[in-house]
Structure 1
Amino acid sequence: MNEHSGWAPRVVTPGVLQVTATHDGLLEALGNTARTAELLLADKALVFRGFGTEPHQVDAVLELLLPDRLAYVQGNSPRTKVGRNVYTSTEYPAEYVISMHNELSYAERWPSRLAFYCERPPVTGGATPLVDGALWLASLDTQVRESFQGGIRYTQQLHAGSGFGKSWQATFETDDRDTVEAYLARSDVAWEWRTDGGVKITQQRPATMRHPATGKVVWFNQCDQWHPAGLDPEMAAVMSELMTEDELPQSVTFADGTPIPAAYIRHIRDQGLAAAVDVDWQVSDLLLIDNVAVAHGRRAYTGPRRILVAMSG
C-alpha cells in the first residue's frame, strides 16, 4: 500500500491479533465479531494478511465477516458468480482503470460491507484503491459539491439478451419478469418494458450520505461511472459512434434532468483517484471495507488476476 497523509486501511496480521499464522488462527480471531466490527468502524477498511487462507476455505471466513451475504442484484459491473453470493470482483478489461465508487450506491439498497479475497494477484498493477468518502467530498471544488445538493438521476437501459451492456436477466439473476417487477416495485424506481423486451429503469438518489454510525457525511454516488466523460476516451468514442445518448446502457443527470458538465465529472473522478490509497494484493489477502465510509476502484493491470468479492447488508 502506498503512503497517504490523510487515511489508510489497517493491515491486520497474526501478530496484531495474537493468533497463529494460519487459516484457523484467522477464524479464531474473526469469531469475536464484535471486535471486528469495532476495528472496521474505527479504521473503515481492514486488510487481513499472512493467514494463508486458501480458496476452498474462503466461505468459512465470509460466514463470519458477512453474516447476511447478498446477491449482486441490480449491479452494473460484469461479474461471474462462483459460489453462494460470491462473485469475481469485476471482468472489466484489464487495461482500464475503474474509478472510485461505493458499491450499488445508485440503488435504494446497498451493502454495508464488502469483502475481497485475493486468489491470484496480477503480474503488474491491479491494486484496489480505497478512498475515505469524507476526504473525497472535502477535496471537491465548492461549486461542484453545491451543484449536487439536489441529487442525481440514474437511468439504466437493460437489453433482453442481445446488446451492449448487461441484460436484465443477468442484472437481476432471473429470467422471470414478474420477479423483476416485484423487486423494482420495492425499490422506489420508475421502470418501463421496451418493445424489444428490454427494460428502462430511472431512479433518483442523493449524492452524499451520512454514515449511520459515525454521522460523517461522505461522497456516495457513481455519477462519474455513469457519465461518458468519466469513461476511458477510447471507449467513450466507440460508444458515441454506436448509439445515441438515449440508448446508452447507463446514463446520469442532475435530479431535475439537467446535464452534468463533463468538467465536473472529470474533476470528481480525478480527485477520488488522487486521494486513494492502493491495496497491492498478495496471495490469500482478505480485504474488508465499510461500503459507506470508503469507496473503492481498480488499477489497470497485466497478467492473470483473480479477486473474489462478496457483500452484506
Structure 2
Amino acid sequence: MWKPCVLTPSDLNTSAGADGLITAVSDKAWFDAALIREKALVFREFGVAADELEPLLRLLLPDRLPYVHGNSPRTKVGDNVYTSTEYPAELTISMHNELSYSGQWPARLLFYCKQAAATGGATPVVDGERWLASLDPEVRDAFSVGVRYTQNLHDGFGFGRSWQDTFETTDRADVEKVLAAQDCEWEWKPDGGLRIWQVRAATTRHPATGTEVWFNQADQWHPSALDGEAAAALRDLLAPEDMPQSVTFADNSPIPEEYITQIRTRGLDEAVDVNWREGDLLVIDNVLVAHGRRPYTGSRKVLVAMSG
C-alpha cells in the first residue's frame, strides 16, 4: 500500500534543525524528482521552529501563491501562508485536492506543524490513482461527463465567505480578471453578492507522469456534506440556487447521495494518516495526492502554503 516517504536527518545525512534541512533540500533536481516519485514527503525530527520556516518556504515553494478563490475558512498569517482549514475540531474534513474545482490549482502544498493536537488531528493523505480505482465503475462512468459547481459569495454579511475574503481584494475588476482566466461564468447580484458557475472534469492527469487521478470536490460541495441540522437550517433559509456552494453533474442533473457517500468513504478508507509532531513538514504533490483532516482535541496549529 502506498504511504508518504518519511525522511529524518539521518536518512538525508544531514544535521537536525532548519539549516540541516535547507542543506538537504537545496538540490532542486533531487527534491523535485523525489516528490514526483514518492508523491508526499514528511520531514521529521528536524525540529524546525516557526520563525525558521520562511527560508524553507522560499526554497521549496519558489512561486508561492495566494489562496485566491479558496472556499474554506482560513486566516492569513504571513506572506501567502495560511492556517489550515478552520472547521470545528470534532469534524472530519474529507479528502480533496486543493482548488480542484478551480480552473487553476497549486501544483504543490507544504504543511507545517506549529502545535500538535492533544489527541487526533492527523492529516490523512491518499494516492489519487488508488482513490479513482477504488470507486465502482458505475460512479466513475457517471462522473465522466464532469461536474458543475455553483458558488454564492456574499458582500460582507451572510452565510459562507464574502467575495472580498475569497479573492483577497475589494475590486470587482480584479475578481472578474481571475474568473475569466479560470473560464468561469459569473454574475453580480443585486444585493452586492457574487454567483459563480464553473464546469470541470472529475479526473485529471499529472503533467509529468500522465497518471489519471480522481480530482474534484463534488463530495465537499454536495448538500449531504453538511450535517443534518446545518443542512436543514440552510434549506429553510435559502433557495437551492442561493446555497453558499452546491454541485451537480455538468448537465445540471443531480448527483445521487449514495455516489457522494461512496466517494467520501472510500477516499478516507484509502488514506494514510500523517500524525503530526511539532516541527514536522509535509510536502505533497497536489495532483497525485489528496488530503483531509481527522478530528482532534486541544489546540492544533498547522500552517499551509502552496505553489504553482
Give the conservation status (yes or no) of the 8 Å contact 1:208–1:217. Answer: yes
| 217, 222, 244: which one aligns with 1:249 | 244
- Partner Cα distance (2:28, 2:3) in 1: 22
TM-score where L is the length of structure 1: 0.97
TM-score where L is the length of structure 2: 0.98
Question: Who is 2:145 aligned against?
Answer: 150
Q: 1:1-313, aligned counterparts within 5 Å?
A: 6-313=1-308
**Shift of residue 153 of structure 1?**
0.4
Partner deviation per Cα, 1:263-292 (whole Å, 9 max, x = no partner): 101110011011100001000000000000
Give the conservation status (yes or no) of the 8 Å contact 1:96–1:232. Answer: no
**Shift of residue 236 of structure 1?**
2.3
CA RMSD of aligned residues (A): 0.9
Amino acid across the alignment from 1:140: L
Partner deviation per Cα, 1:172-228 (whole Å, 9 max, x = no partner): 000111111122122201000000000000000000001111111100000000001
Amino acid across the alignment from 1:146: D
- More displaced 10-residue stretch of structure 1: 234-243 or 66-75: 234-243
- Partner Cα distance (2:119, 2:239) in 1: 36
Amino acid across the alignment from 2:21: L
Amino acid across the alignment from 1:262: E
Percent identical across equivalent pairs? Answer: 61
Amino acid across the alignment from 1:68: D
| Structure 2 portions without partners, runs of 5+ | none
| Structure 1 portions without partners, runs of 5+ | 1-5
- More displaced 10-residue stretch of structure 1: 290-299 or 181-190: 181-190
Give the conservation status (yes or no) of the 8 Å contact 1:14–1:20. Answer: yes
- Partner Cα distance (2:133, 2:177) in 1: 38
Question: Who is 1:3 aligned against?
Answer: none
Amino acid across the alignment from 2:76: K
Partner deviation per Cα, 1:11-65 (whole Å, 9 max, x = no partner): 0100111001121100101111111111111110000001111001111111111
- Partner Cα distance (1:221, 1:129) in 2: 17
**Shift of residue 92 of structure 1?**
1.0
- Partner Cα distance (1:241, 1:124) in 2: 36
